[in-house]
Amino acid sequence: MERAHAWLAQDPDGQTRDELRSLIARAEDGDAEAAASLVDRFSQRLAFGTAGLRGALGAGSNRMNRVLVAQAAAGLAAYLVERAEPGAQPSVVIGYDGRRNSDVFARDSAEIFAGAGLEAILLPRMLPTPVLAFAVRHLGAAAGVMVTASHNPPEDNGYKVYLGGADDGSQIVAPADAEIAAQIQRIADLGDVGALPRSVGYANAGEEVVDAYIAATAAVAPAPSGAAGLRWVYTAMHGVGWETLAQILDVADYPAPIPVEAQLLPDGAFPTVAFPNPEEPGALDLAYETARAAGAELIIANDPDADRVAVAIPDSEAGWRMLSGNDVGLLLGWRAARRASEIGRDPAASLACSLVSSPGLEAVAEHYGLGFHATLTGFKWISRAPGIIFGYEEALGYLVNPETVRDKDGISAALAVLELAAEARGRGESLADVMAEFRSLFGAFASDQISVRVAQVEEIGAIMRALREHPPERLGDSPIVRSDDLRDGVDGLPPGDVLRYWLDDGSRLIVRPSGTEPKLKLYLDVRAASEPEARQRLAALDDGARGLLASIR
């Protein structure tokens, strides 16, 4: 209760002040639900880590709000000033998407950065995350902040941090995350964000930054001759992708899509989807409906901040089916490898993916004589792979233009997919035919994922602990021939809370906690000579993985 009153005294937001006053009054009157809500909001802080901040909007230290954002901005400013060269003025560029309060959090941050003596540059309007990531490098900024919760539920928002200079516009990694977190805690301990110096002397970036991103992205995949007449459907999932993508399509000379009108413009309430993530069941239902009515050949969907992209194609059995992140990642990786081969291979060129993504990318790299790197999950690691020309993670994230954006970019990836579809169309084929050609050349790779959502995060730790204390020897009928605990660091990777099991037929199971949600994730990968055989092996691996879970829960 003491923390709640202290928070109330410094909160500049009338809405969250009213929310907190009501909770305090109800708790003081004996309302157990209100008291429990206060405990949840003030017993801990929303943790700042390598994903920045992300959580539900609301009053309290365990929520996203103006107090927490002010503390984060002041802490980041102190970190940047501390590491700057003597006499230098670090610059920070700030972007925001269409979620509730994103614009407010962005302007608060710009004022606090400027008040701390930094050169603060606010992007001109709500824009995709890849534009912010591009702007950090384009403007030579010391850091960038993107206010977004990406594909999280509608009630969430977040605060993602990028670093320039030697970090080359990538997301933060250790030890920067801990050092920034320590500065944020120092600011929080002072107890009054109202005392932080602010200034409206920040700069507003001009359209030149957006225009530069559009030009660079359009150059990634100019339309081939087969693009004419391509019928495709697009949804922005109530996010900010459409305005920027539309301009790029025009410059690159692709036909305009048939839009999912109800989801085309930004709307932080996300009225047509319960969970604005293309991977979630039902999220693409309106896109499928639009595609069926239009006789489309392809569906492309961005998530709300447009750093991810989903692809769906016609299916003779299901009508339409969404390709997995690994399906798209392998096609785009193959595209990148072919192009590297055509223009003359840089000896240092490499493909990269997270260690939970398909091993098929390594097969592509080997075929074309390219380097390959498997990294810990997250583009903060993938983007740092030496010599990277393409990188991806199975959660619909793709980096196709590392020379301009050091993060996943759902807009440039969408353009690359359109190029593949248009090239196939010019040959009288489809993306399904391209996938069949990939299998004939590299073999059939099949992947799946089991997500176990838990009520208490502690359950995940208990499962991981049980697996370490009692290592499994079999998965179903198949013996485990190799086990890796990445907590100790394996294959040159930084330590991570990941367990990896290999079966005698080359199949692989990886177990790890989610970095952004209360979930345990299991990743299943197999390789076979044919697609039916791969599906059979995957089903057996799925049975074995579920049996393992049942034995320890």
Residue 272, class by beta-carbon neighbours within 10 Å (0-12 exposed, 13-18 middle, 19+ buried)?
Answer: middle
What value, to the nearest 5°, has the Cα angle with vertex 433 and ends 309 and 431? 20
Query: DSSP string of 99-138?
Result: STTHHHHHHHHHHHHHHTT-EEEE-SS---HHHHHHHHHH
DSSP class of 283 = T
Residue 300, strand partner residues: 234, 311
What value, to the nearest 5°, has the Cα angle with vertex 475 and ends 507 and 533? 40
Structure tokens at 119: 């050169």
Residue 328, class by beta-carbon neighbours within 10 Å (0-12 exposed, 13-18 middle, 19+ buried)?
Answer: buried
Residue type, 171: Q
Of 451, 475, 469, 449, give the one whose Cα is nearest residue 547.
475
Of 159, 136, 145, give the one whose Cα is nearest residue 53.
159
Q: How far apart, in whole angstroms, are the C-alpha atoms of residue 95 and residue 103?
A: 8
Query: DSSP string of 36-84?
Result: HHHHHHHSS-PPPBTTBEEEEBSSSTTSBSHHHHHHHHHHHHHHHHHHS
Residue type, 376: L
278: left (phi over 0), alpha (psi -120 to 50) or beta: alpha
Say whether 61 is catalytic: no
Q: How far apart, in whole angstroms, are the C-alpha atoms of residue 312 and residue 307?
A: 17
Q: How far apart, in whole angstroms, are the C-alpha atoms of residue 430 and residue 204?
A: 44
Residue 233, strand partner residues: 258, 299
User: What is the number of other CB atoms lying within 10 angstroms of the CB of residue 64?
Assistant: 27
Which of 37, 150, 357, 447 is catalytic? The answer is: 150
Give me the active site residues, please.
Answer: 150
